[in-house]
Amino acid sequence: MLQNLGFDNLLSYWIDTGISGSVLATTDAAETEPFVITAVLLSLIAVYIVSKLGGELSKRLDLPPVLGELVGGVIVGVSALHFLVFPETGATASDSMLMSLVQSFGHLDSAAIAHVFETQSEAISILAELGVIILLFEIGLESDLRELSKVGYQAAIVAVVGVAAPFILGTVGLVAIFHAPVIPAIFAGAALTATSIGITSKVLSELGHLKSTEGQIIVGAAVIDDVLGIIVLAVVASLAKTGEVDLLNVVYLIVSASAFLLGAIFLGKFFNQSFVAIADKLQTRGALLIPAFTFALVMAVVANLIHLEAILGAFAAGLVLDETDKRKELDRLVAPIADILVPIFFVTVGAKADLGVLNPAVAENRTGLIIASFLIVVAIAGKVVTGWAVFGQPGVNRLAIGVGMIPRGEVGLVFAGIGSASGVLDKPLEAAIIVMVILTTFIAPPLLQMALNGQPEESDAPEDMIPAVEMVSVED
Amino acid sequence: MLQNLGFDNLLSYWIDTGISGSVLATTDAAETEPFVITAVLLSLIAVYIVSKLGGELSKRLDLPPVLGELVGGVIVGVSALHFLVFPETGATASDSMLMSLVQSFGHLDSAAIAHVFETQSEAISILAELGVIILLFEIGLESDLRELSKVGYQAAIVAVVGVAAPFILGTVGLVAIFHAPVIPAIFAGAALTATSIGITSKVLSELGHLKSTEGQIIVGAAVIDDVLGIIVLAVVASLAKTGEVDLLNVVYLIVSASAFLLGAIFLGKFFNQSFVAIADKLQTRGALLIPAFTFALVMAVVANLIHLEAILGAFAAGLVLDETDKRKELDRLVAPIADILVPIFFVTVGAKADLGVLNPAVAENRTGLIIASFLIVVAIAGKVVTGWAVFGQPGVNRLAIGVGMIPRGEVGLVFAGIGSASGVLDKPLEAAIIVMVILTTFIAPPLLQMALNGQPEESDAPEDMIPAVEMVSVED
């Protein structure tokens, strides 16, 4: 739009919008502040209503509640009601039903409502990020380090096969069948690699299978997958930028990621003692919770600082604190915080997923849909085979392990976003990756439930009310 | 700065900063996103460390922990370390130690770090706002309507006198002696009104006088005081917004605040049944917490929409849900959420309070110091007189009742925070209120002990771990 404006228009454009933007922090912010709070509160109310409705409906249909939370997000999001939309999907304040409500209530001008929209979107995204950090912290608390190390080799094999198979199948297929150029094909292949640990572990927890052999292999593999995925991303991103791979950077990433996870667990054994000693000495409210939560945040920041995902740090913190005798009390304290923060993450993921790219009535979607179908087949097949890479575990449910690795979630979207921003991916390929991410995310929970159906469910109604570890440990 | 720039400079200024600002939502935001998360996580780590250190130190010095949290905030904030600063106090990214850290780590340019600073500040402010909403929800949950009616007219008289006397003395004194403008004077007078129920009941419990006639009257009056204080807050905050003393508006606010609270409580009696029925039907995680929390948010928004403070809605929601048989479970579930969100509020209030204006070495600060001394005298005298309002209780320790009403605690800080955010309070007056809160909280325990002739202590360490109402009910 800007290039069509004349010089005078350009100047007045900046004076109208730019100046108000630059002084926002000192004057406008104070005026729009109450509306930002109202907008955030309304967003949260929407999140809780749709996540509870969706979750309960899923539960009634014998599906994992998290699926209902995702669908609830889709319904309030960019694909349907447009109540809760985000700038990442190209939406502006005028696309948001919530913002129209706030605007008509507060009689705000377009600059003010744009500020409210941006701030509310950032705030909800940050709350969602805190939600996924708490989720992985809780999963870490529920995962048993000794159980995990028992299945360590199997998890590593599953992870490596689960990265290599879809990557090779996807890249070769795109070049051979669709005659795609090599670098975009490699990028799309890379987008197929990383399992979403958040969705898989939530489903496992909901089904009461987090502590089973299958559950531990899946969680372990998903964690290693996340690390591998970040390495793959760094590799293909540098490929996209320079056309060649920076080997030194790859080595650095592999070493730092491994050193972080192993170092955290190793040092954690010593920290455990100090942690318990500190918590026992504190006499004010939150004596146990605040040190534990602070530790999770510190680990998340450290992970961030060495270019890993924050959630890996939170997961490692949970693993470490799981080894203390405060574990049960901590589970009980973290559960309500997870209850209010985690739904924000899942509803936000659903709200940001634009299912419009799936509409076959739009001609330009069709190429994308054909490529998407191919990517989905590869995404599923490439992960399902991983179950058969497990060795030395007779009677293990191989299908469940493979299916558990299917959901791509937010990690795949990161690939699509970076690929699109760097210009490597054209529109159909980007849309195809997004469709693949959405579909694998949505089909994995019911598929995993079906795959685990052969095995006895540990209990029925009340387990969702109690952190999964409680139920599991009761029966161990 | 802008007015000094020539035309060419202005144009290039907008092209350099304005354009990158305008496309922030689509490109820069994605690039700065990880740094925003890192900045928010680092802020939270700082909040938890200083609030825990401060709270524990206070506890060791036999002072209320909330005092230490506030002082912790002062230490990381604009008055001392400048680690956590906010645009409201006129700070920019370059004033923030935290931002310097993030900038040097991420190699961000000044536009990017300005965006990170703004977003991080907004996010922490929103989390602080959620913190005070949860705090008032919890206070509502801990306030017992039946206890309130038992202590009867004496408590009500003490409460009304204890609100009216400091309010009138403070407001009239500020206008008459210090020639303060009317609205800030009313706001400062209002900040003198509300007794802290948490601090008062804790102090009484420590002195072993919770069940005495004096103790019962003080606790009852503190509960009513909380309600009156919130109505007063709603009135003066709205006055601050419109900028003038409109008698019709005052009447409207008093009527709507009372109608809202009483209506919420009245309708709540019916809603209670549906609430319990809904919570009992839900089968997924957060079956009780999510409906309760959503109810609190809805009430907060409704209060907002009729131009009252959001916290009034949260308090009413707490009062209503306190009447259900889910109360104890709800207390247990809300406590961890309050533990992680409430410190963000207190530390933020401390961090935003510029105590530098109270430095007596600077000549222009002396007004603030004189005002602070005046407010402290009024804060003490205005509450001490309430003891002589008690009737039909021969031999009652009137001085003890008056002294028991002195501590202002978190409610006074809510006034300071909102007054500062809305721009009504200038820096000296805001700092004077905070000094008043700190001092009344400091001197109340020894004064009360003196008034009660140094009775033996009943218990020691564990009461801080338990919500105040729990202690009260245990000892009833």
Domain closes at, from B101, B126, B151:
B126
Verify that A120 and A191 share a domain, yes or no: no
Mean pLDDT of chain B: 78
CA–CA dist A294, B340 (Å, integer): 10
Verify that B440 and B335 share a domain, yes or no: yes
* Token code pair at residue A322: 């799981």
- Residue A152 has what pLDDT? 81
Look up the CATH number of the domain holding residue A286. Answer: 1.20.1530.20
Residue A456 DSSP one-character state? P
* Chain B residues with CB-CB distance to A19 below 8 A: 2
Q: Is B254 helix (H, G, I), strand (E, B) or coil?
A: helix
Min Cα–Cα distance to chain B from A308, Å: 11
A37 and B340 within 8 Å at the Cβ level: the answer is no
Verify that B155 and B113 share a domain, yes or no: no
Does residue B43 have a pLDDT over 90?
A: yes
- Residue A27 has what pLDDT? 41
State how far Cα B195 lies from the chain centre.
Answer: 12
CA–CA dist A277, B281 (Å, integer): 41
Surface of A (137-156) touching B: CB under 8 A: none
Low-confidence ranges of chain A (pLDDT < 70): 1-31, 230, 234, 238, 240-245, 409-411, 413-414, 417-418, 421, 454-476
A–B interface: beta-carbon pairs under 8 A: 204
Verify that A229 and A253 share a domain, yes or no: yes
CA–CA dist B422, B471 (Å, integer): 36
Write the pLDDT tens digit of every residue in A28-75. Answer: 455 677 789 999 999 999 999 999 999 999 889 877 788 888 889 989
Min Cα–Cα distance to chain B from A353, Å: 16
In this structure, is residue B255 part of a structural domain? yes
* Token code pair at residue A268: 């954690």
In this structure, is residue B42 part of a structural domain? yes
Domain closes at, from B126, B159, B183:
B126
Verify that A244 and A311 share a domain, yes or no: yes
A5 inside 8 A of chain B by CB: no
Contact A339, A345 (CB under 8 A): no
Surface of B (12-51) touching A: CB under 8 A: 14, 17-19, 21-22, 25-27, 29-30, 33-34, 36-38, 40-42, 44-45, 48-49, 51
CA–CA dist B264, B302 (Å, integer): 11
In this structure, is residue B118 part of a structural domain? yes
CA–CA dist B355, B345 (Å, integer): 18
Contact B92, B117 (CB under 8 A): yes
Surface of A (417-436) touching B: CB under 8 A: 417, 421
Does residue B313 have a pLDDT over 90?
A: no
Surface of A (319-358) touching B: CB under 8 A: 333-340, 343
CA–CA dist A228, A386 (Å, integer): 15
Residue from A284, A289, A339 whose CB has the most chain B CBs within 10 Å, to mutate = A284
Candidates A25, A336, A465; nearest CB to B336: A336
CA–CA dist B346, B202 (Å, integer): 19
* Chain A residues with CB-CB distance to B340 below 8 A: 286, 289-290, 293, 337
B1 Cβ contact partners less than 8 Å away, ≥ 6 residues apart: none
Give the structural domain span for B206.
Answer: 134-475
Candidates B40, B298, B461; nearest CB to A45: B298
Verify that A153 and A222 share a domain, yes or no: yes
CA–CA dist B467, A14 (Å, integer): 53
Write the pLDDT tens digit of every residue in B164-216. Answer: 999 999 999 999 998 888 888 988 898 898 887 666 666 676 667 766 778 77
- Residue B206 has what pLDDT? 64
CA–CA dist A317, A101 (Å, integer): 41
- Residue B146 has what pLDDT? 66
Question: CB-based burial of residue B27 (10 Å sphere; 0-12 exposed, 13-18 middle, 19+ buried)?
Answer: exposed
A17 and B22 within 8 Å at the Cβ level: the answer is yes
Q: Which of B31-35, B87-91, B327-331, B369-373 has the lowest mean pLDDT?
A: B31-35
B284 inside 8 A of chain A by CB: yes
CA–CA dist A469, B22 (Å, integer): 47
Verify that B147 and B261 share a domain, yes or no: yes
Min Cα–Cα distance to chain A from B390, Å: 35
In this structure, is residue B213 part of a structural domain? yes
B2 inside 8 A of chain A by CB: yes
B287 and A343 within 8 Å at the Cβ level: the answer is no
- Residue B466 has what pLDDT? 40
Verify that B303 and B425 share a domain, yes or no: yes
In this structure, is residue A136 part of a structural domain? no
CA–CA dist A219, A401 (Å, integer): 10
Candidates B18, B19, B293; nearest CB to A340: B293
Residue from B285, B329, B332, B465 whose CB has the most chain A CBs within 10 Å, to mutate = B285
Name the residue with higher pLDDT: B415 or A156: A156
Instruction: Give me the helices (H) in A243-359, please.
Output: 247-281, 289-305, 310-322, 327-352
- Residue B211 has what pLDDT? 67
CA–CA dist A175, A99 (Å, integer): 44
Surface of A (71-110) touching B: CB under 8 A: 87-88, 90, 105
- Residue B438 has what pLDDT? 78
Say how many domains are in chain B. 2
Measured CA distances, A60 to A53, A56, A195, A346, B259 (Å): 11, 6, 27, 19, 40
* Token code pair at residue B109: 């340019």
Domain closes at, from B78, B97, B126:
B126
A270 inside 8 A of chain B by CB: no
Measured CA distances, B231 to B194, B256, B440 (Å): 10, 9, 22
B129 and A37 within 8 Å at the Cβ level: the answer is yes
Tell me: ipTM over 0.85: no
A283 and B465 within 8 Å at the Cβ level: the answer is yes
* Token code pair at residue B296: 């609190």
Q: Which residue has the tokens 């207190």?
A: B346
Verify that A327 and A180 share a domain, yes or no: yes
- Residue B144 has what pLDDT? 67
Verify that A75 and A180 share a domain, yes or no: no
CA–CA dist B159, A363 (Å, integer): 72
Measured CA distances, A310 to A136, A214, A305, A315 (Å): 10, 25, 9, 9
- Residue A19 has what pLDDT? 30
In this structure, is residue A94 part of a structural domain? yes
- Residue A24 has what pLDDT? 33
Verify that B423 and B335 share a domain, yes or no: yes
Mean pLDDT of chain A: 80
- Residue B116 has what pLDDT? 93
Measured CA distances, A41 to A24, A37, B124, B168, B448 (Å): 22, 6, 15, 35, 41
- Residue B383 has what pLDDT? 92
Q: Which residue has the tokens 């801080």?
A: B464
Question: CB-based burial of residue B215 (10 Å sphere; 0-12 exposed, 13-18 middle, 19+ buried)?
Answer: buried
Verify that B212 and B278 share a domain, yes or no: yes
A296 C-beta neighbours (distance < 10 Å), count: 29
The DSSP secondary structure of B204-230, one letter per residue, reads: HHHHT-TTSHHHHHHHHHHHHHHHHHH
Min Cα–Cα distance to chain A from B38, Å: 6
Residues in chain B: 476
- Residue A194 has what pLDDT? 79
B36 Cβ contact partners less than 8 Å away, ≥ 6 residues apart: A122, A126, B116, B119, B120, B123
The CB-based long-range contact list for B225-228 (8 Å cut-off, 24+ gap) reads: B225/B159, B225/B162, B225/B163, B225/B193, B225/B194, B225/B195, B225/B197, B225/B405, B226/B139, B226/B143, B226/B194, B226/B195, B226/B197, B226/B315, B226/B411, B227/B143, B227/B261, B227/B315, B228/B159, B228/B160, B228/B163, B228/B193, B228/B194
Write the pLDDT tens digit of every residue in B52-72. Answer: 999 999 888 877 787 788 889
CA–CA dist A8, B245 (Å, integer): 44
- The identity of residue A212, as a single letter, is S
